[in-house]
Every structure is written in structure tokens, then in C-alpha cells.
Structure 1
Amino acid sequence: MSRYRFSIDLGETFTDFVILDEAGRLSIKKIPTTLYDSVGNLVQEIGHFLAEKQIGVAEVEALVVGMSVHMQPAMAINCLRELESLLQAAGWRTPMKLVTGHGKVVTIDEAADDPESILSPRIGGLMTGRYFGEQLEQKNLIVLRIGGSSAFVSLQTDFSPRSPSSLDQSLDYQVKSFDIGGNSYLGIGENGNLELLPEHATPGPGPACFDRGGEYPTLTDADLVLGFLNKNYFLYGAIPLKLELAKNAIFKHLAEPLGISVEEAAMRASNEIEATIATRIRALTHSTPARLETYSLLAFGGAGPVHACEIARLLGITQVVVPVGAGVSSALGYLLVLAENDPDWAIPATLQRAGYYNPSNRSGDFHALKGYRSVYYEKDLTPCGCPIYDRAGIRADDTLSGPAIIEGPESTVVMREKSYARMDQFRNLRIYLR
């Protein structure tokens, strides 16, 4: 019988599932259901995921949960107790463990004594960054995750502490989080410039393009208008994106008041957020002796790989890496935390997608090419007929040139001109900016 470990990241916008077996095979899924919707629905989704992967409940020997949500502590504990109870009723016998912000693994009863410790743990992103940084053998690394409601930046250098006992020091001095994400509302400030608003479209209707009653434009709406996102492939197509709704929201709240086109408003929004994140990264790296040009940028989250190349260009960074499972980095990080707390189980040195198309025996043309889409890259707002690639169809050592968009089910990579990408032996996508 195979041994599996199951990790869940309960987020503001989406819930991420990761199952890892002993051979390093990852099974991944991102769903729109969260604790704000229904714990019962979440348990059903967990059951569907196991059935889809043909894994029995008895084969899962560990279940670890992290809560990337802003929720009242008492409510969080109550939801977790309900989740554990419903899982047990569904046949689970594996006790549920929770990840704390300090890298510990605790039971619900232990978490109830200090519920603040389990809310929005940044440790998942830090651990995932460390894992891939060591795999890539990068001495200076900036880890960037942009999710639905927040962004996470971690700085890793030769001087970064590596032992588990030094996690608090890393979290204090090398990690910053801020409220920028795909669901960040866009508006017009007092000075008449386009800016991010403090409110987010979560929990609630989400971006206008989700067609769930959202009225105000978000970064996700802007990305859709610019052609970065595939309206029929968002979360495997679970949420069809409505381009006209995104355009209407941007027109009403941004373009019309500013007297500009919808596309220009979307471009300004994208540029503003990229510049803001680049500024935050510069502030984090200010005290390090290494120059930014010596760093690589490791991109995670649903929106991180969309904007990573342009953020890197603003910083003078010439290599961006989008690793395996980039869209579910926190959930993967919780498995790494679990391994740190369990001397009998270690994370394999190489991870791969279970059941993923293996193009090693492919012959003929570059089969990863899916087609072309109009994409707005340049400030002159002239659309480009951009090639769209399926990440699963790219072989190790395949290369492709930008402009290009590389699509996976959990994240999308946007490459600009004067760049090229290579898939390395670990199936990490390495992008070089020229």
C-alpha cells in the first residue's frame, strides 16, 4: 500500500489540495470552495479529489492544514472542529494536524489554547522557497507569491539561517506580507491616479469576471482584459471568466472617469501593481550586501507567475523560476513543515506531477503549442498575436522565446519580448530576461 500525505491550504479565495507520495509524486487541485462557503462542501470536495486520484482514505497517513484566512480565532477553531468531525464521519481515521506560524504542528485542542498562532501562517511560503532554492542551487533568491488576497515576499541569501530553530528569525527579518492580490479592488485615488483600494473582493462575489455579482474591477479582471488569462481554463475551467463583465467594470469605475480606454486602464492597473511590488522588494533587500542583479526571482501563487517577469525587469533581475506546483505553494510548504516535525519521513529531493502528461517520447513539432491569443503587452496598446503553450507538454531542455504565455491548471506564466524559457530536469520553468 502506498503512503500518502495530504495538505490543505484554506485560503480567502480558494482552497488548495496537495497529496504527496513517497516517490515525490504530487497530486494538486485548487478549488473555489472555502470555509466561508460551507465546511460540508469542502469535505465533499476532499472526497471527490481522493476518488479522482484513486486514493483510499486508509492510504492517507497524515493530514495537515494551514489557514491562510483572516477570520475570528474562535470561528476558525469552530470551523476546524466541524471539518475534523465531518471527515471522521466520512471514514477518516488520520488525525488532523494544524500548522502554526512558527513552524510547529499541533492538534486542534492545542491550537484552541492559542488560536492566533494558526491564522495566516507565512511559514508555508518560506519553506517552499527554501526547498526550491536548494534544488536550484541559487545563493541569492527572492521568493514572490501573489495569491487572491495577499502577496508574500521572502529574501534568501548565503547569510539566511537554515536550521528549524531559526525560523522565527527568518520570518522576522526575511519575510514580508502585504494586501495585494488577484482580488484587490482597483479604483481612482484623490489625486486622480489609478490605485489599489484597501478592500478585497473576498470573501464574497469575487472579481467582476467571475459573474457572481461582483461590481468593482480587480487585478484578475485587468489580467483577463489584457489577454493574460484564458477565460475557459481558469481553475481547469471550474470558473468560466466573463470578459465583457470585466470590461464593463473597468469601463465604469476606471476608464470612463479617467477618459481612457478599457485596455489602457487595465494596463495602468497592471503596471501600478507591478511597480508597487517591486518597491516593496527593494525595501526588503535594502540591507543585504548583494546587488539585486545577483538574485533570481522564484514565482508562486495564481497571480505570481503572471506578473513575475515584469517585476523582475523592474528590479534588474535576469532569471525568473516558476517551479512545479507554483499555484499551491503554501499547501506544499505545509508538507515541508510536517517533514521537519517528523524524523521518520523526508521530502524527496525531486517532485513531479502525478499522472502528468510525459512528453519524453514525443516526436515531431513542438506539441505544447495550444494556439494564439491577442495579448496587450506594450504601452502603445497594440495587441500581439501571442503563442499559448501547455506547460505539461514542454519537455526537459525544451526552450521557447517570448512573447509567450504558458498555461497550467493552477497558474499562468506571462513572458514578454526579449526573454526565453527552458524547462530544467526538475520540470522547473527557468525564464531568462535579456
Structure 2
Amino acid sequence: MSRYRFSIDLGETFTDFVLMDDAGRLSIKKIPTTIHDSTERLVEEIGYFMAEKKVDPAVVEALVVGMSVQMPPSMAITCARNLEEKLLAAGWSTPIRLVTSHGRLLPIDEAVENPESIMSPRIGGLMTGRYFGNQIGQKNLVVLRIGGSSSFVSLQNELSATSMDSLDQSLESQVRSFDMGGNSYIGLNEEKEPVLLAEHATPGPGPACFGRGGTLPTLTDVDLVLGFLNKDYFLYGAIPLKVDLAKKAIQEHLATPLNISVEEAAMRVSNGVDANLAFQIRELTGAHTAELETYSLLAFGGAGPVHACEIARLLGIKQVVVPVGAGVSSALGYLLVLAENDPEWQIPAAMQRAGYYNSTQRTGDFHALKGYRSVYYEKDLTPCGCPIYDRAGIRAEDTLSGPAIIEGPESTVVMHEKSYARMDAFRNLRIFLR
């Protein structure tokens, strides 16, 4: 019988689940439900997920939770305790252990003594970067995560990637976090340039394109208008995206005040986000572009793979890697933290999505091809008839050339011209920039 571990990343805009067995098979879910909602709703979603995977919660041996939320630490402790009580009542046999920012796992009663230590544990992203860096044989890494409400960049090299202690020490000097993500609102600064604001859409109304009452434009609206996102495949299609509402929000708040088109306003936002993150990465290294050529960029989060290739190009980085489970990297990283704390359980050298890969899903010249979509890549705003691929249908060692968009249920990869991608034997998508 398989042994299971389960992790939860409680975020500001989404909550991520990762269920892993001892063979490295992953079951993944991202939902627009957070700890700000009732714990009853969260327990229901967890129950639906476990039922769908046909796994009895009673056989799960470890339950790890990370608090990637903005709330008072005492409130986070209360929420975690309520969640634990309801899960135990629902048949779970293991209590919650909370991840600390320095890579420890604490029962709730111990976390009460230092609740600040459990808030926004960035160690999950560092652990995920180290794991996949070792897997691809690359020790010099830029790790980029763009989530719903926050972004995270870190540098890892041969020294910082060797141990948990060295990763922990790098948290201050080689890591930066930002209040920006897919749900960040966009406004105009004093120079009348579009900028991402610290405020972001909450899960209720969400971005304007969700059609739930939001009227302000967000980065998600921009990525949709530029053609990067599939309006029918966001979060497994659970949230149909409304292109007309995204355009209306951008028109009213950006395009009209600037007297430019909706597409140009969206392009300015996208270019600004890419340039800002590239600048932040350069500041972390203090390096010139040429020195970053020795690095690979690991892209995580729902929006990270959307913007990673252009950020890499700005930095002079030649390889972008979008690993298995890229859209739930923090939750996956918490399981790697668990392995560091539990010598009886080791993470396998390779992970795979349980029930996800299907090489016969498509037919035709290239079996993963889903179709074509108009995508705005260039500053002249001439749309490209871009091929769209299903990541689940790409076989190991398959290659494809950019421009292209590769879609998965938790994240989308945007490739520009002068690039090509290869699916490696571990099912990591490796993109090479010419």
C-alpha cells in the first residue's frame, strides 16, 4: 500500500494542495479559496479532492501547512487550529504541522510560542529550487515565482544549494519578495506610466475578467487581453475568463487616460513587469548581464511561466525550466521540507503527475497541438497566430519551437520567437533561448 503525505499552501488569492505517495506520484489542485474564507469551505474542498483521488484521509501520514497569508499571526494560529479540528473530525488521523520560515515543522501548540515564525515561509520556494536544480544538474539558478498576490525571486549557487542551513542563510541576502502577482491591480504613477500596485483583487470579485464584480484591471486581465491565457482553461476551466470585461477595465483605467489602445496599454504593463523583475534580479547579484549567462531560470507560480522567457532574455539567461508542479511550488516545497525533517521518508529523484500525462490525447502532425490563438508579442502590436499546446500531451524528448504557448491546469508557459523547448526525461519543460 502506498504511503501518502499532504501539503497545503494557504495563500492570499489561491490555496494549493499537493498529495504525494512514496513513489513520487503527485496529485495537485489549486482552488480560489483561502484561509480568509470559512474553514468549513476549505475542509469541503479538501474532502472533494481526496475523494476524487480515491485516497482515504486516514492513511495520510503527514499533513503540512504553510501560511502564505497577510493576517495577524495570532489569527493564523486560530485558523490553523480550527482547520485541524475539522479535519480530524472528518477522518484525518494526523495533526497539522506548520512550516516555519527557517525550515522547521511545528505542531500548532509549539507554533503558538512564536507565531511570527510561521508567516509566509519562503523556504518552500528555496527547497523546490534546490530539488529541481539538482535534478537538471544546474547549481547556478535564478528562482522566480509569480503567484496571485506576491512574487519571489532568489539566487542559488553551488554553495547556497548544498544544505538546508545554507539555504536558510541565503534568505536575507539572496531572496526578495514583492507584493505583486496575477491579481495585483494596475494604476498610473506620477509619470502616467502603468504600474502594478500593492493592492490586489480578493478571491471574491477577483480580476475584472472573472465576471464577479471586479472593475479594476489586474495583471491577469492584461495577460488575457494579450492572448497569453486561455479564457476556457483557467484553473481547469473552473473560472471562465471574460475578455470583454478585461478590455473594459483596461480601457477605462489605463487606455483612455493615456489615449492609447487597450492592447498597447496591456503591452506596456507586461513589459514593465518583466523589466522590473529583471532589474530586481540584477540588483540581487550586482552582476552584469554576461555573468548571469551561467544561470538557468526556474519558473514557478501561476504567472511565473507566463513572463519567465522574456525576463530571461532581458538578463541574458539562455535556459528557462518549468518543472513538474510549477503552479504549486510552495506547497511542493513544504513536502521537501518534510523530507528534510523526517529521515524515514525520502523524496524520489523524479516526480510525476498522477493520471495527468496522456500521449494519445491529441492526433495530427503534433499530438499535443490544441489549436491556434491570436497573441500579442511585439511592440508593434501585430497579433501572431500562435500554436497552443497541451503540456499533458508532450512526450519526453519531444521538441517544439517558439512562438508557442504551452498550457497546463495550474500554469501557462509563454514562449517567444528564437526559442525552442524540449520535454526532458523528468517531464520538466526546458526552454532554450537563441
Distance 1:188 1:111, change over 3 A: same
Question: Equivalences for 1:372-387 in 2 at 5 Å?
Answer: 372-387=372-387
Question: 2:186, 2:235 → 1: CA distance?
Answer: 23
**Quick check: 252-261 or 188-197, which moved more?**
188-197
Residue 194 of structure 1 deviates from its aligned partner by 1.5
In the alignment, is the contact (CA less than 8 A) between 1:309 and 1:320 conserved in 2? yes
Question: 2:251, 2:362 → 1: CA distance?
Answer: 45
| 1:185 and 2:189 are equivalent in the alignment | no
Corresponding residue for residue 285 of structure 2: 285
Question: Equivalences for 1:123-272 in 2 at 5 Å?
Answer: 123-160=123-160, 162-202=162-202, 204-272=204-272
Deviations 1:211-235 (A, max 9, x none): 2221110100000000000011000
Instruction: Give the CA RMSD over aligned residues.
Output: 1.6
Residue 362 of structure 1 deviates from its aligned partner by 8.6
**Quick check: 419-428 or 152-161, which moved more?**
152-161
Question: 1:238, 1:251 → 2: CA distance?
Answer: 26
**Quick check: 201-210 or 150-159, which moved more?**
201-210
In the alignment, is the contact (CA less than 8 A) between 2:362 and 2:369 conserved in 1? no
Secondary structure of residue in 2 paired with 1:176: strand
One-letter amino acid of the structure 1 residue matched with residue 431 of structure 2: I
Question: Equivalences for 1:318-333 in 2 at 5 Å?
Answer: 318-333=318-333
Question: 1:204, 1:252 → 2: CA distance?
Answer: 22
Secondary structure of residue in 2 paired with 1:306: helix
Corresponding residue for residue 32 of structure 1: 32
Residue 159 of structure 1 deviates from its aligned partner by 2.7
Corresponding residue for residue 296 of structure 1: 296
Question: 2:168, 2:351 → 1: CA distance?
Answer: 27
**Quick check: 285-294 or 258-267, which moved more?**
285-294
Identity %: 77
Residue 361 of structure 1 deviates from its aligned partner by 11
Secondary structure of residue in 2 paired with 1:234: coil
Question: 1:358, 1:243 → 2: CA distance?
Answer: 30
Deviations 1:384-405 (A, max 9, x none): 1110000000001100011100
Question: 1:226, 1:362 → 2: CA distance?
Answer: 26
Residue 365 of structure 1 deviates from its aligned partner by 3.0
In the alignment, is the contact (CA less than 8 A) between 2:140 and 2:156 conserved in 1? yes
Secondary structure of residue in 1 paired with 2:245: helix
Corresponding residue for residue 390 of structure 1: 390
Corresponding residue for residue 21 of structure 1: 21
Residue 432 of structure 1 deviates from its aligned partner by 0.7
**Quick check: 391-400 or 159-168, which moved more?**
159-168
**Quick check: 97-106 or 349-358, which moved more?**
349-358
Residue 288 of structure 1 deviates from its aligned partner by 9.6
Corresponding residue for residue 308 of structure 2: 308
TM-score, structure 1 length as denominator? Answer: 0.97
Corresponding residue for residue 426 of structure 2: 426
Deviations 1:161-194 (A, max 9, x none): 5222333312122211111210111111111112
Residue 202 of structure 1 deviates from its aligned partner by 2.9
Question: 1:288, 1:315 → 2: CA distance?
Answer: 9
Secondary structure of residue in 1 paired with 2:324: coil
**Quick check: 354-363 or 366-375, which moved more?**
354-363
Question: 1:290, 1:161 → 2: CA distance?
Answer: 22
Corresponding residue for residue 403 of structure 2: 403
Residue 293 of structure 1 deviates from its aligned partner by 1.1
Question: 2:361, 2:251 → 1: CA distance?
Answer: 48
Secondary structure of residue in 1 paired with 2:236: helix
| 1:62 and 2:67 are equivalent in the alignment | no
Q: Give 5+ residue unaligned stretches, structure 1.
A: none
In the alignment, is the contact (CA less than 8 A) between 2:289 and 2:316 conserved in 1? no
Q: How many residues align?
A: 434
Question: 2:368, 2:168 → 1: CA distance?
Answer: 42
Corresponding residue for residue 341 of structure 1: 341
In the alignment, is the contact (CA less than 8 A) between 1:360 and 1:395 conserved in 2? no
Question: 1:290, 1:126 → 2: CA distance?
Answer: 24
Question: Equivalences for 1:104-123 in 2 at 5 Å?
Answer: 104-123=104-123
One-letter amino acid of the structure 1 residue matched with residue 244 of structure 2: E
Question: 2:294, 2:133 → 1: CA distance?
Answer: 14
In the alignment, is the contact (CA less than 8 A) between 2:352 and 2:426 conserved in 1? yes
Deviations 1:73-119 (A, max 9, x none): 12111111110111111111111111000100000111111111111
Secondary structure of residue in 2 paired with 1:62: strand
In the alignment, is the contact (CA less than 8 A) between 1:68 and 1:119 conserved in 2? yes
Secondary structure of residue in 2 paired with 1:197: strand
Question: 1:164, 1:273 → 2: CA distance?
Answer: 31
Distance 1:362 1:209, change over 3 A: closer
Q: Give 5+ residue unaligned stretches, structure 2.
A: none
Corresponding residue for residue 53 of structure 2: 53
Secondary structure of residue in 2 paired with 1:389: strand
In the alignment, is the contact (CA less than 8 A) between 2:98 and 2:107 conserved in 1? yes
One-letter amino acid of the structure 2 residue matched with residue 413 of structure 1: V
**Quick check: 124-133 or 158-167, which moved more?**
158-167
Residue 407 of structure 1 deviates from its aligned partner by 0.1
One-letter amino acid of the structure 1 residue matched with residue 314 of structure 2: L
TM-score, structure 2 length as denominator? Answer: 0.97
Deviations 1:16-47 (A, max 9, x none): 00011011100001011111122101000000
Corresponding residue for residue 43 of structure 1: 43
One-letter amino acid of the structure 2 residue matched with residue 181 of structure 1: G
Question: 2:345, 2:15 → 1: CA distance?
Answer: 25
In the alignment, is the contact (CA less than 8 A) between 2:9 and 2:331 conserved in 1? yes
